[in-house]
Amino acid sequence: MKIVHVQQYFNESYGYQENVLPYYQKKLGHDIVLITSTRTNGFGKQNRVKEEGEFEENGFRVKRIPIKAEFKNRFVVFSDLYKYLEKEQPDYIFHHSVTAPSLFTVCKYKRNNPSTFLAVDNHADLNISGRNRLWRLIYYNTLWRKLISLCDSYIDVYFGVTPARCIFLEEELGVKAEKIRLLPIGADTDHIQQVNISKQDFFKKYGIDENCLVIVHGGKIVPEKQVGKIVEAFKRIENKNIRLVLFGSMNDPLVEKAIQTDKRIHFIGWLNREQTLALLKYSDIGVWNTRHTTLLEDCIAVGLPLILRYYGSTCHLIDGSGIYLYEGSVREIYDTLKLVIDDYSMLQKFKEKAALLGKILSYDNIAYESIKYQQSLEPLGIHKKFMSIDYCDMEYPRFRKIL
């Protein structure tokens, strides 16, 4: 098939869903093109504004087309998107985001070409979107709920990329549950092979003792991520043979100050894709005590056991392969880290289970299911497994919103 992805912002050489899922769909034999804007999110050292034109990313074509306007970091208003769709003549359109004006353009294309399959996905949950109740009521519950209802008859399936984001579609945007399926952000198992540096060389480069047990945390280190609690819990553990490695962007002065008093803590800054995968691969356990980040799926791809805060966007990411936090307090993090550090056999069992979870949540499976839903909306394996009560405790008070 010809599959066209429509993405608002595109960050080249990253490990986000839009960089990786098309690669795995192409691996299945499909012709893939991703249409995006001349904008990135400006992460790392990337410029926000890019030139129009076509280039290759992970073996598939990417077309940057002009825009008329943007609601910064939410959506763009494309110029002539319909013209580009007509040129590509897709059999399948995968529209990333359910709350963007281009939704109307792809629905128009579907109306004029009814044999085209139209999927839209949702990356919003109450931890990252609609945190202000008034904004949620006006923007999501009223405006976009109405706009989506106008498009609904043309949309074949809505994908939520986590269980909570499936729930957001239904509860906040009014989508019928029978059209919602879990298609999670996946484990990029193929690109682990990009890691060419050895553990010895990598740790030597950053001054990390390779003989120690390594705990890792990364991403944007800002006060709301509460990384300081991880640091404080770690500092309470009296063990000379452990290391805490932090990576990403440091924007929390208190954390920056706190790590200076413990030589077992390393902050190694922003890492590129290969370096990130190398660090996760060579670490022993990862700790994220607040909301979801796509780094968690990278951890799963390399078989890294995890300590995670439990809620609706992480509830599918541990399957006998780690431990959930429910309060996220310093004491809870300390107790959990101490338990794992002191029991080597437990950590080894977690690693075995993490490898199995990586196979289930691999992008190979996710790409296959993304195509399979074109034939039938009957729930497939990933949806049936992870949307069950075994993983989703929807009665848990913080299931939808932890912070």
391 domain residue, yes or no: no
User: Which regions of 38-131 does DSSP assign to beta strands (E)?
Assistant: 53-57, 60-65, 67-71, 75-78, 92-96, 117-122
Please tell me whether residues 169 and 69 are part of one structural domain.
yes
279 domain residue, yes or no: yes
C-alpha–C-alpha distance, residues 292 and 308, integer Å: 9
C-alpha–C-alpha distance, residues 62 and 218, integer Å: 28
pLDDT tens, residue by residue, 39-98: 998 776 668 899 999 999 999 999 999 999 999 989 999 999 999 999 999 999 999 999
C-alpha–C-alpha distance, residues 293 and 247, integer Å: 13
What is the model's pLDDT at position 47? 83
Please tell me whether residues 258 and 201 are part of one structural domain.
yes
397 domain residue, yes or no: no
pTM assigned to the model: 0.93
pLDDT tens, residue by residue, 151-174: 999 999 999 999 999 999 999 999
398 domain residue, yes or no: no
Whether the Cβ atoms of residue 121 and residue 98 lie closer than 8 Å to each other: yes
C-alpha–C-alpha distance, residues 5 and 61, integer Å: 10
34: β partners: 5, 62
Q: Compute the average pLDDT of residues 245-274.
A: 95
pLDDT surpassing 90 at residue 113: yes
Closest residue by Cα to residue 168 from 210, 200, 128? 128
395 domain residue, yes or no: no
Whose tokens are 């429910």? That residue is 326
What is the model's pLDDT at position 15? 87
pLDDT surpassing 90 at residue 325: yes
Closest residue by Cα to residue 281 from 305, 302, 297? 302
Domain count, the chain: 2
122 domain residue, yes or no: yes
Please tell me whether residues 342 and 369 are part of one structural domain.
no
Q: Compute the average pLDDT of residues 320-343.
A: 97
What is the model's pLDDT at position 191? 86
For residue 218, report the phi and psi dihedrals to the nearest 5 degrees.
-155, 175
Average pLDDT, the chain: 96
pLDDT tens, residue by residue, 199-257: 999 999 999 999 999 999 999 999 999 999 999 999 999 999 999 999 999 999 999 99
For 321, the domain range is: 196-360
pLDDT band at 296 (very low <50, low <70, confident <90, very high): very high
Q: What angle do CA 249, 253, 254 make, to 5 degrees?
A: 120
Q: Compute the average pLDDT of residues 112-117.
A: 98
Q: What is the CATH number of the domain that holds 156?
A: 3.40.50.2000
Please tell me whether residues 104 and 236 are part of one structural domain.
no
pLDDT tens, residue by residue, 12-32: 988 899 999 999 999 999 999
266 domain residue, yes or no: yes
181: β partners: 159
Please tell me whether residues 125 and 216 are part of one structural domain.
no
pLDDT tens, residue by residue, 344-401: 999 999 999 999 999 999 999 999 999 999 999 999 999 999 999 999 999 999 999 9
Whether the Cβ atoms of residue 263 and residue 208 lie closer than 8 Å to each other: no
What is the model's pLDDT at position 130? 86
Please tell me whether residues 256 and 300 are part of one structural domain.
yes
Which tokens go with 100? 């963007």
Please tell me whether residues 276 and 262 are part of one structural domain.
yes
Complete edge-to-edge strand list for the sheet that includes strand 92-96: 53-57, 60-65, 31-37, 2-6, 92-96, 117-122, 157-160, 180-182
What is the model's pLDDT at position 131? 87
Please tell me whether residues 304 and 380 are part of one structural domain.
no
Please tell me whether residues 204 and 160 are part of one structural domain.
no
Q: Where are the alpha helices (DSSP H) in 28-158?
A: 81-88, 102-112, 133-135, 145-151
Which tokens go with 146? 């109405």
Please tell me whether residues 172 and 225 are part of one structural domain.
no
Q: Do β-strands 265-267 and 242-250 pair in parallel, antiparallel, or remain unpaired? A: parallel
262 domain residue, yes or no: yes
For residue 392, report the phi and psi dihedrals to the nearest 5 degrees.
-105, 105
Please tell me whether residues 120 and 229 are part of one structural domain.
no
pLDDT band at 403 (very low <50, low <70, confident <90, very high): confident
Please tell me whether residues 201 and 168 are part of one structural domain.
no
